[in-house]
Amino acid sequence: MRFSIATGLSLLIATSPSFAAAPTAAQKLAQDATIVDTHIDAPSELLKHWDDLGVAAPGKEFDYPKARQGGLDVAFMSIYTSPEEDAEGKAWQIANTQIDAVEAMVGRHPDKFAVLRSPGDLERLRAGGRVTLALGMENGAPIGDDLAKIAQFHARGVRYITLAHSANNRISDSSYTVQKQWGGLSPFGEKVVAEMNRVGIMVDVSHLSDDAVRDVLRVTDVPVIASHSSMRHFTPGFERNISDELARAVAAEGGVVQLAFGTAFVSPKAAADLQAFFAAEADFDRANAAAAAAGQPTRSKDDFEKEWKTAHPVPVVHIDAVLDQIDYGVKTIGIDHVGMGSDFDGVSGNLPVELHSVADYPNLVAGLQARGYKDADIRKILGGNLLRVWNAVEAAAAH
């Protein structure tokens, strides 16, 4: 029997008004299970403001003490570069600098962190309470026009690449852009997918247009992932989240959808506001360009963004929104094809009240237990499914 969030979690919340501490059974499972989070934006945040993540870092959603409290075993560090950095020719430099930052974190605290390059090394590297750090590249921009860079980034530890981000690039169309450039993957993008298959880097379809996801599934020879997407069923018209059709197609090829926690992914209002923001931003940029061309004053982009945020406050959401996503994902594509990609440190703190950092995975476990999930199935969601795909991609490349 499954319990609703109202009947199940209300009992937990009643004994813990802040919901800060999950029940002992949930804490125990979180510590014992292998927890894999495929999207944590710590590296880019470190370049904005350095913190020692080996000790408590207030204001950061990932650090070692929080990770141990939450039971996190594999933290995919997001090596993120923006479309603007790509246009300025800085993406390769910035990506390598972020990888250096992750390696420095490990070098500073070898007793707390280790770089994970293969799932086969996990048991050895997490011994002694280490948190293992894998690398996922968010935006294929650092590849440039050079397929050889894919193998170079693999040698540096990158184990998935999100082909595009919030704008079309030389590889793929983005879900966020109104005007698509390629109608899916570019011809070069098809070569990128094939080369990622060859060297053993997982292809990530988060951020891609629907047609690009279809192209990826046509080209790839191995399962793919959506590293941090949620189900579009809850956010109609929001292409950034994955449709039922494409989620089923990813699952049919053995892949996994890693559900994100960010408010914009799980709240219909926040998703609609984000779509409206991108449209308004495009209008703003066009108006500013026209004004500049006519020799007229232009508006400040910072002022535009501040005005938008004031007029569109982010709604408060709770953990039930994420649990509903998991329920629907399991119903739609099966228990073997759902996982977690939180987007911690990447959504400006806009997260469910009870899922505000890597310390809070036990709250998610408690919610799943309250809804009637068996521990074996919770283990699959927490990390088992992702590790299966990673193993499959690695094995295919080896052969």
Which tokens in the block code for residue 97? 């600098």
Provide the residue range defining the domain that includes 344: 5-267+316-398
Q: What DSSP element (H or E) covers 363?
A: helix 361-370
- Ramachandran bin of 349, using left for φ above 0, alpha for ψ from -120 to 50, beta for the remaining angles: left
Q: Return the SS3 of 39.
A: strand
Res 16: pLDDT: 36
Q: What is the pTM of this model?
A: 0.92
Residue 5 scores a pLDDT above 70: no
Q: Indicate if 163 and 103 belong to the same structural domain.
A: yes
How confident is residue 395, by pLDDT bands cut at 50, 70 and 90?
very high
The pLDDT of residue 13? 35
Among the three residues 314, 334, 350, which one is the final residue of a domain in this structure? Answer: 314
User: What pLDDT does 279 receive?
Assistant: 85
Residues 301 and 379 in one domain: no
Rg (the chain; Cα; Å)? 20
Q: Are 239 and 230 in contact (CB under 8 A)?
A: no
Q: Token match 């530890």: residue?
A: 157
- Res. 8 pLDDT band, cuts 50 70 90: very low
Same-domain status, 358 and 387: yes
Residues 206 and 101 grouped into a single domain: yes
pLDDT of 6 higher than 50 = no
**Mean local confidence (pLDDT), 353-370:** 98
pLDDT mean across residues, the chain: 93
Q: Does 118 lie in the same domain as 201?
A: yes
Q: Are residues 225 and 288 in the same domain?
A: no
- Judged against a pLDDT cut of 80, whether residue 361 lies above it is answered with yes
Q: What angle do CA 158, 185, 340 make, to 5 degrees?
A: 45
In this structure, the answer to whether residues 299 and 208 fall within a common structural domain is no
Kindly state whether residues 99 and 166 are assigned to the same domain: yes
Read off the pLDDT of residues 268-312 as tens digits, 9 standing for 90 and up: 999 999 888 888 988 998 999 898 899 998 999 899 999 999 999
Q: Are residues 287 and 366 in the same domain?
A: no
Six-digit token string for 331: 């119903």
The whole-number average pLDDT for the span 46-51 is 94
238-278: per-residue pLDDT in tens?
999 999 999 999 999 999 999 999 999 999 999 999 888 88
Band (60; pLDDT cuts 50, 70, 90): very high
Residue 1 scores a pLDDT above 90: no
Burial class (CB in 10 A: 0-12, 13-18, 19+), 98: buried
| Nearest by Cα to 227 from 162, 133, 157, 167 | 162
**Tally of CB atoms within 10 A around 69:** 18
Q: DSSP assignment, residue 265?
A: H
- Judged against a pLDDT cut of 80, whether residue 7 lies above it is answered with no
Nearest alpha-carbon partner for 52 in 65, 39, 41 = 65
Q: What angle do CA 328, 172, 205 make, to 5 degrees?
A: 25
333 and 220 in a common domain: yes
Long-range CB pairs of 64-70 (<8 Å, 24+ gap) are: 64/109, 64/112, 64/113, 64/131, 65/359, 66/357, 66/358, 66/359, 67/131, 67/358, 67/359, 68/129, 68/131, 69/358, 69/359, 70/30, 70/35, 70/357, 70/358, 70/359, 70/360, 70/361, 70/362
Exposure string over 211-235, b if 16+ CB within 10 A, otherwise e: ebbbbbbebbebbbbbbbbbbbbbb
Between 129-133, 173-177, 298-302, 336-340, the lowest mean confidence (pLDDT) is in 298-302
Domain count for the chain, please give it.
2
Query: Would you tell me how many other CB atoms lie within 10 Å of the CB of residue 139?
Result: 27
pLDDT at 34 over 60: yes
User: Which runs of E-coded beta strand occur in the chain?
Assistant: 35-40, 72-80, 113-115, 131-138, 158-162, 202-204, 225-226, 256-259, 338-340
The amino acid present at 367, given as its one-letter code, is G
Does 347 lie in the same domain as 209?
Answer: yes
The residue with greater pLDDT, 295 or 3, is 295
Q: Say whether 238 sits in a helix, a strand or coil.
A: coil
Question: Is residue 244 within 8 Å of residue 233, measured between CB atoms?
Answer: yes
Mean pLDDT, residues 21-33: 90
- Return the DSSP state at 235: S
Mark whether 138 and 286 lie in a shared domain: no
pLDDT surpassing 90 at residue 9: no
Percentage of residues in the chain with pLDDT exceeding 70?
Answer: 95
CA pair distance 343, 260, nearest whole angstrom = 6
pLDDT for the residue numbered 21: 58
List the one residue out of 247, 258, 259, 249 whose CA is nearest residue 202: 258
Q: What is the mean predicted confidence (pLDDT) over 367-387? A: 98
CATH number, residue 27: 3.20.20.140
| pLDDT value, residue 246 | 98
Q: Would you say 299 and 288 are in contact if contact means Cβ atoms under 8 Å apart?
A: yes
Q: How far is CA 44 from CA 48, 290, 382, in A?
A: 7, 33, 24
